[in-house]
Each structure stands twice: as structure tokens, then as C-alpha cells.
Structure 1
Amino acid sequence: MDWFTAPDLWLGRLVFQRALAGVYLVAFLAAALQFRALIGSRGMLPVPQHVRFVPFKRAPSLFQLHYSDRFFAGCAWTGAALSAALAAGAGDAVPLGAAMAMWAVLWALYLSIVNVGQTWYSFGWESLLLEAGFLAVFLGNAETGPPVLVLWLLRWVAFRVEFGAGLIKMRGDACWRKLTCLYHHHETQPMPGPLSWFFHHLPKPLHRVECAANHVTQLVVPVLLFAPQPVASYAACAIVATQLWLVLSGNFAWLNWLTITLALPAVDFTPVAGPPPAAASAPPPVWFAVLVCAVTLLVLVLSRHPVRNMVSRRQVMNRSFDSLHLVNTYGAFGTVSRVRDEVVVEGTPDAVPREDGEWREYGFKGKPGDPRRIPRQFAPYHLRLDWLMWFAALSPGYARDWFGPFVERLLEGDRDTLRLIRRNPFPGAPPVYVRARLYRYRFTTWRELRETGAWWHRSLLREYLPPTRLSVVSASGGAGERSESE
């Protein structure tokens, strides 16, 4: 079965597996550290409430069978520990079957989290991690050469990520065709990074070059992933370079790092890899070969959905076509906002809220708030609340399910919720009232930065949420709490 494996590509597999395990580690850490406030038993969108209305077939998950915060935390920390072990090379230190089981457990644990994560886990990079993680199960370990079929499937995923994103841009916002989208993107992207201000102030001709280079990288280069070497390596390196540019210019969780990881198997590492391990040159077990062939056939059959979506004039971004997230469609920034609005959340200890009263602003970790605070770098770590706050500013409809519970927990002084934000202006006791107001933000100019030290300029647009308090109401001989707008 010389056609089945490519022993000379052992280093490419090793680099891919270690990098993917690193991405898994970040994902599980984010889940473990944020879930209580977001989807825990007392979270804004509790898992127990969600699974009552969603059947197992529609969203397979361990937490459909049993849920407690302790059990969820155990699963998330188990996933983090297993990811760290695989990143350190544990998969090559055990038999082939055991290594496959380790990758399968990672995939099943993260699938369980995503399928109950609701709005908080609705991003394309969740499905992308699951799709890549599923293929990693069948990539083997040091006991066998890398399966050629799986290596090609990884290129197929990388192709769909880039080509799908390129198509959605050309079909979507006209500014991509006019090469003007980057006049706005660095300023209006969901979560700017520490260099975004500088990227925004690059000369407009360079922004146009960025746009054109993006089209080439997403619409031409991905096709070359399927070309013979060294062309495929050059194409993969071009994708890596583009993704690193995006890493520098913003915070997109682990999307860029995972795309880089998917491009790596297309790179020919043989000039630096040295001879493959002796075991990698041995014929693979028959059961392994049969399994890989079956999975390849399955992926090809399921690929009809994303292919149909890509050729459709009504192409959609970031959609899963099966509950296991095996083969998905991807895309980003089909439209680019021209202005940036931000929801600013404030509280007051005053018993009667007044416009000129003592209102203190909550500071978020990643999203813009204080105009004098330069954006921070958090990616590949994913600040889920901060990302959803960007959507909340686009339209209250995006925040309908969770913004009210978020405000209620601020009024309660909920510790888990307060851990998600950078600055709690009420360390002693929670506020009496909380309000939210919508501001228009823009990057300052070079002159404004020198004169004021502010990275942002903001101006009030309107009220987003009127002053709201907790009210104790009596019912059936007991008391409960509810949010009440004044």
C-alpha cells in the first residue's frame, strides 16, 4: 500500500498535530474560564434550560445526558489537559489506536460544548476546529506514515476556508470590488488589536493593495494548494503570511492560527525533515486503511453541501450542514461596517437615577471603552462576551436573549459575570441602577493622539437601555428578583 501513506511527510503531520492541539488547548481554556457566567446553571443562557427544547439528534452532546457546572468544568479541564499532552507529543508515545482515541475524545468533548453553547458558540471557527479535529483522528501517529487521503482532505478544508471567504466578499459588499473596504475595516472590526490604529492610518493606496492582495490570496492561491510541489508549498506559505498579517491587525480568536495550521500540511518539509522514522515506512494496519478510506468517502459525500453553497448566488457564511460539524461552509466580512458603534454600560449607586448623577462605566477587557485605552491583544484567546457586545451595538436584536440577563447579573454583583470584565466600578456593593448608552467611536487622528493621548474619539448617539434596577416582588408567600426598567 505504497500509495496510501507518504512517510516523507512525517514532519508536516507532526507540526500540524502539535499546532492543532495548541488551538484545542486555547479553546478548552476559554470554555473552562468563561462558561459559568455564559451557559452555566446560573448563566445568562443556561445549558439546562436550553437542552429541554433541543433534542439530542439535533445537537449531540454529553450535556444532553447530564449537566452540572462541576461536570462541565471537568470536561473542559480534561480537554485542556489532553490537548496539552498531545501538544507535547503524547500521541506519538502510545499505540496508534490509543492516539486515535485521544484525538476522538478531544473532538467529542469540544463538540459537546459547541452544541450547547448557543449564541456564545455561534462563530465559524468553532465548526472549523471541529472539522479539523475530526480529520486529525485519522491522521495516525509515529507508528504509521501520514495517510495521503487525509492530507488531501486537510487541503480541501483550507481551500474552502479561503475560497469561501473570497467569494462572499466579491458577492457581498461593493467596497471589496472597489478595493476600498480597508478604509474602514481596521476601525470597525469586532475587536481591534494594539496595532489596528496604525493599520487604519496606512495610506489609502496601500489599503487598496491590501484588498487586492486579499482577493489573490483567497481566490487564486487556494487553488494552487492542489498543485504539485513546490507550487503547493508556495501557496501554503502565502496563506500563512496573509493570516499573520491578520493576526497583527486584529483579534479574531483562533481563526487565523487555525487557518495557518490547516495550511501547514501542504508545505513540503522534506528538505529539513530528515529521514522518516522506521515505523512510518511500514505498511499501515488494514483496519486503519479501511477506516481512512471510509472517512474520505464520507467527507466527499458531505462536501456536496458546501460546494453547492459556494457556487450559489445566495452563498451564506459559517454554516454547519450536520449536527456533528463534519463538513461546513466558511466566510468572513461579506459586508464591512462604515462606522463603529459601541454599547457603553454604566451603573450608579444613586437611589434615584438622574442624568447628571454619579454614573460609573464598566470596563471590558477587549472591546473599546475608555477612549484613552489602547486596544489589547487577546487572540487566539476568545473573549466571548466582548465579541457579542459588538453584535449588540449593530442591532439590539442580536442581544435580545442575553443582554437583559447580563444587566441583571451586574445588578446582583454576580462574581462569575464580573470576572468576564476588566473593571468593576462597584467593588464594594453592586449598583442600584444600570443603564446602557450607544456611542459612535472612531480612531483619533495622529494630531488628536498627540494632543489628548486618546486612541478613540466617541460621541453619544442615544440611549440603548434606560436605567434599570432589581425589584423585590412578593409572590406566594416568597420573594423573588426581577429586572425592572424605570
Structure 2
Amino acid sequence: MPDWFHAPDLWIARLVLQRGIGLCYLSAFLVALEQFRPLLGEHGLLPVPRYLARRRFWEAPSVFHLRYSDRLLVAVSLVGILLSLTVVLGLTDSWPVPLTVATWLALWALYLSIVNVGQTFYAFGWESLLLEAGFLAAFLGPAWSAVPAPLLWLFRWLLFRVEFGAGLIKMRGDACWRDLSCLDYHHETQPMPNPLSWYFHHLPKPLHRLEVLGSHFAQLVAPFLLFFPQPIATFAGLFMALTQSWLVLSGNYSWLNFITIILAASALDDSVLGHVLPLERPDMAVVPWHDGLVLAVSALLVVLSYRPARNLFSERQLMNASFDPLRLVNTYGAFGSITRERYEVVVEATNDEHLTPHTEWREYEFRGKPTDPKRRPPQWAPYHLRLDWLMWFAALSPSYAHRWFVPFLEKLLQGDAATLRLLRRNPFPDRPPRVIRAVLYRYRFTTWKERRDTGAWWERTRVSDYLPPMMLTD
């Protein structure tokens, strides 16, 4: 292969990509181990066997087409955790190339099997992003092998689509992105605020305008600079990493921001990363057949990039869409529109058999989403709370929740232990309630004065019934 095919000055970048993507895989499989069964298992809210009965293998490739069982799901998750740890701990660095490739492909195939049957609970961009990045990482090779430059360029192409796709969605979507006012609302109305979101919301409005301008530069200008010579590419990567770090500080977005920061390492050579990670680069060997494999995979991904690239410049741009069932090359985007007011669905229940105006209703409290106004929004990312995230969508419109919300309430009426473990607090620890309902509230962050006077992070106002009282006999 010609000299340009290998990039010895990106040895540390390869290391960062592999370790970082391995950490994201680890988080993803831990989430599946804890949450998949109550949400999607044999007796879950959206059971996988029912879904697979309507899907052919090539519509949703997954090992679970052979047979789904909760035990097999646990086995897949545990194997994924084990393989992730081998990558994160660097055990694969000294392995032969075939074994390294096989380890990464196993990670990709196992997580693809989960995502492709995950339905509504796995219908978000960070799932495809992890799979696409993980597939690319499969062919980077161990630490002793020559760094394949085409793959590092494909990582930059992936980062380009993540950022530029998000920027175009914004400019084509809500007018507040164009008049720079979106962040007047976003920190308060985002799906799952974190401990610092209240403070970000109360930043001066001129600073919010600067935040939006920084976002536009990171998503509409910097992506093109990734393909310029150094040090311009390094500047672009660092600026993207900075804006993504700002998002990490201001909200909970699963591993989306973390993996985007990791992808930015593909633009940074060892002269930059070496200041943070002063590692000694070993002698690297060229493996001819590995180079041939990289060339074939790169050609395949370039061909598959046609539809995602065309989508970027389409007036009907799709957001977070996959164009092939293996999710090898995808399109991304986020927050094309911003909600101005925050609504939350609060689930309440009672043991009273006959309802009166004096009935005592007790609230279920979720792990991450706002319920108790005096509870500070918690930090969860990069771990992802799938039920909490879907509850935000349920508040936007019942159409987002029509398939799973009533089964969820039914599980609470049954006192289902697996479902209750997804919550922070069960107000009926001794026996399940008789009647359950859902109420829609408007939430807003308290002001500085309200915070001092009441100790509350939120002020809420009841809007309407979301779902009327129900019993198991209903």
C-alpha cells in the first residue's frame, strides 16, 4: 500500500477511539441488562416475541430471530459487557488482528441484535451512532499494527454527518435557531435536565445567544474544516469537543455527547493528544491482508454513504434515520424544534376503592425525569434511562405512548417487581394500589428568589387529566 494508507501520527487517536467506543458499548450493555426485560422482554411492555412475529430477518437482523428468551437476552448483555471490558482494559492491544476484528464485530452484532428489536425504546440516534462507530472500530487493528488512514477519514466523515446533520435540521426547523433565542427555553424543556440545567437556564440571555452562535459554528462550519490540513482539522475537532462538553454539563443525553467527543479524536494527531496522553508509540507492523480488508470495507462504506449524503441536502431531510438494516451508514440530527413549555405526565394511584374529592393520591417518582418539585434534577448520562426518556415524549403527545403507557400502568397495578425497579420510589411498598391515573402538569424552573424561599427546583401547575382513573378490571 502507498505511504498515505497508513497514519503513524494518529496512533493515540486510534487508542482513544477504541477505548472510548468500548466504554460506550459497556454503558449500552449495562442498560440492556437492567432495563430490557421489563420494557421489552417476554412479559415486558412491548414484548419482543410479538414484534418478531411481524418482522422478517432482513427487516431487522438479530440473533433473537432464532429464539427470544429473557435468559438469552441476559446472556447477550453479559457477553457484551465482557467483550467491552476487554477493549476498555486494553487486552486486545496485543492480540492478533483476526481476533481483534472478531471481538469488535461480535460487539457490533450483539448490540445490533438488541437495537433492531428495541422498537420505541431504542428509536434514537445514539443507538445507530454507536453501531456505526463500533463497526468502523472493528477494522482499526490492535496497537501493534499500522494505523489505517482510510478508517480515520471515515470517522471524520461520521463526525461530519453527526454535526452537520444536526445543524441543518436546526436551520430548516425552528425559527428560534435563526433568531438565536432557542436556549431561552431549551435548558428548561429538554428531555431530561441534569444538576446544572437550572443554572444554565438562568444564564443571561446574551450568553444564550453566544451559545447558539457557538453551536451553529460547530455544526455548520467546523465539520468542513475536519478535512483541511493540520492544524485546521485539530481546531475543528477541539471546537466540536468543547461544544459537546458544554452539552454534557447542561443535560442528560445518554452517550450521544460522549461518543461525539470521542469521534473528534480522529482529527487530532499525536502531537496534540500526546500532551494529554504521553504514551510511547511502539513499532508498528504492516499486515497486508488487513490493509486489503480495510480497503474493501472503506469502499463499501463510501458506496453506502450516497443516500445519507443526499439526505443532508434534501429539503425533506430525515433525522436519525438508517438506510440499511445493518445501520452501517446513517443520518443524524437533533432538536429541529424546541418546545417553549415543559409538560410532565405524573402517575398517581390510591388504595381507595371509592373515589371522592378527598381521595388521597400518591405519586410514583421516576429516576431521572422531574416529578417532585423539590428534587434536584439528577445526573445519569452516559447511562440512559429509557422509560424516563419516553415519558418526556408521552407528555408532548399521547400518540407517542399509546402502545406502551397503558401496559405500564397495568404493571404498576399488578405490583410488578421488574417494572417497579425502573422507578426511584414506589409509594405502595406493601401492596399494589387499587386505582391508578395519569395527570398532566406544566413544569417550569423556579426563579432565584423562589429557589431561596422554597428550596424547590421546579414550580408546577396542574393542566388536565392525561388518563382517567383505571382499575385492573378496566
TM-score, normalised relative to structure 2: 0.98
Asked if structure 2 preserves the Cα contact closer than 8 Å seen for 1:96 and 1:143, the reply is no
- Kindly provide the CA deviation profile for residues 251-270 of structure 1, in whole angstroms up to 9, marking residues without a partner as x: 00000001011111211123
Residue matched to 2:423: 421
Asked if structure 1 preserves the Cα contact closer than 8 Å seen for 2:10 and 2:268, the reply is no
Asked if structure 2 preserves the Cα contact closer than 8 Å seen for 1:433 and 1:468, the reply is yes
1:314 Cα shift? 1.2
SS of structure 1 residue aligned to 2:337: coil
Structure 2 matches for 1:193-342, cutoff 5 A? 193-270=194-271, 272=274, 276-278=281-283, 280=284, 282-285=285-288, 287-342=289-344
Asked if structure 2 preserves the Cα contact closer than 8 Å seen for 1:62 and 1:112, the reply is yes
Residue matched to 2:379: 377
Letter in 1 for 2:170: K
Residue matched to 2:35: 34
Residue matched to 1:185: 186
1:275 Cα shift? 5.7
1:234 Cα shift? 1.2
Query: Quick one: distance in 2 between partners of 1:456 and 1:95?
Result: 55
- Kindly provide the CA deviation profile for residues 399-435 of structure 1, in whole angstroms up to 9, marking residues without a partner as x: 0110011000000000110000000000000000110
Which structure 1 residue ranges, 4+ long, deviate > 6 Å from structure 2?
Answer: none
- Kindly provide the CA deviation profile for residues 291-349 of structure 1, in whole angstroms up to 9, marking residues without a partner as x: 11111111111111111111011112100011000000000000000000000001101
Unaligned runs of 5+ in 1: 472-483
Letter in 2 for 1:136: A
- Mapped pair 1:106 → 2:111: no
Residue matched to 1:174: 175
Query: Quick one: distance in 2 between partners of 1:274 and 1:174?
Result: 47
- Kindly provide the CA deviation profile for residues 73-130 of structure 1, in whole angstroms up to 9, marking residues without a partner as x: 0101110111011100011121111001000000000000000000000000000000
Query: Quick one: distance in 1 between partners of 2:218 and 2:322?
Result: 24
Residue matched to 1:477: none
Letter in 2 for 1:456: W
Query: Alpha carbons of 1:149 and 1:304: their partners in 2 closer, same or farther (altered >3 Å)?
Result: same
Query: Alpha carbons of 1:372 and 1:289: their partners in 2 closer, same or farther (altered >3 Å)?
Result: same
Query: Quick one: distance in 1 between partners of 2:77 and 2:357?
Result: 44
Structure 2 matches for 1:56-71, cutoff 5 A? 56-71=57-72
Asked if structure 1 preserves the Cα contact closer than 8 Å seen for 2:62 and 2:114, the reply is yes
Query: Quick one: distance in 2 between partners of 1:400 and 1:146?
Result: 49
Query: Alpha carbons of 1:274 and 1:35: their partners in 2 closer, same or farther (altered >3 Å)?
Result: closer
Instruction: Point out the more displaced range, 352-361 or 265-274.
Output: 265-274
SS of structure 1 residue aligned to 2:472: strand
Query: Quick one: distance in 1 between partners of 2:454 and 2:12?
Result: 51
Query: Quick one: distance in 1 between partners of 2:279 and 2:193?
Result: 41
Residue matched to 1:459: 461
Residue matched to 1:126: 127
- Mapped pair 1:449 → 2:451: yes
SS of structure 1 residue aligned to 2:465: strand
- Kindly provide the CA deviation profile for residues 34-54 of structure 1, in whole angstroms up to 9, marking residues without a partner as x: 011100100000111110001
1:55 Cα shift? 0.8
1:283 Cα shift? 2.3
Unaligned runs of 5+ in 2: none
Aligned length, in residue pairs = 469
Query: Quick one: distance in 1 between partners of 2:264 and 2:228?
Result: 14
CA RMSD of aligned residues (A): 1.0
Query: Quick one: distance in 2 between partners of 1:456 and 1:321?
Result: 41
Query: Quick one: distance in 1 between partners of 2:37 and 2:19?
Result: 29
SS of structure 2 residue aligned to 1:422: strand
Residue matched to 1:344: 346
Residue matched to 1:478: none
Query: Quick one: distance in 2 between partners of 1:393 and 1:225?
Result: 39
Query: Quick one: distance in 2 between partners of 1:6 and 1:97?
Result: 20
Asked if structure 2 preserves the Cα contact closer than 8 Å seen for 1:299 and 1:327, the reply is yes
SS of structure 1 residue aligned to 2:366: coil
Letter in 1 for 2:140: L
Residue matched to 1:481: none
Asked if structure 1 preserves the Cα contact closer than 8 Å seen for 2:12 and 2:269, the reply is no
1:355 Cα shift? 3.7
Residue matched to 2:140: 139
Residue matched to 1:396: 398
Structure 2 matches for 1:3-14, cutoff 5 A? 3-14=4-15
Residue matched to 1:82: 83
Asked if structure 1 preserves the Cα contact closer than 8 Å seen for 2:9 and 2:269, the reply is no
Asked if structure 2 preserves the Cα contact closer than 8 Å seen for 1:4 and 1:148, the reply is yes
1:16 Cα shift? 1.1
1:274 Cα shift? 6.0
Asked if structure 2 preserves the Cα contact closer than 8 Å seen for 1:347 and 1:359, the reply is yes
Asked if structure 1 preserves the Cα contact closer than 8 Å seen for 2:183 and 2:212, the reply is yes
Query: Quick one: distance in 1 between partners of 2:234 and 2:181?
Result: 30
Instruction: Point out the more displaced range, 263-272 or 183-192.
Output: 263-272
1:242 Cα shift? 0.5
Letter in 2 for 1:368: P
Residue matched to 1:476: none
Query: Quick one: distance in 1 between partners of 2:164 and 2:231?
Result: 21
SS of structure 1 residue aligned to 2:11: helix
Query: Quick one: distance in 2 between partners of 1:393 and 1:140?
Result: 45
Query: Quick one: distance in 1 between partners of 2:240 and 2:73?
Result: 36
SS of structure 1 residue aligned to 2:141: coil
SS of structure 2 residue aligned to 1:297: helix
Letter in 2 for 1:318: N
SS of structure 2 residue aligned to 1:367: coil
Query: Quick one: distance in 2 between partners of 1:126 and 1:387?
Result: 14
Match of 2:435 among 430, 433, 436: 433
Residue matched to 2:24: 23
Match of 1:470 among 453, 456, 472: 472
Letter in 2 for 1:351: E
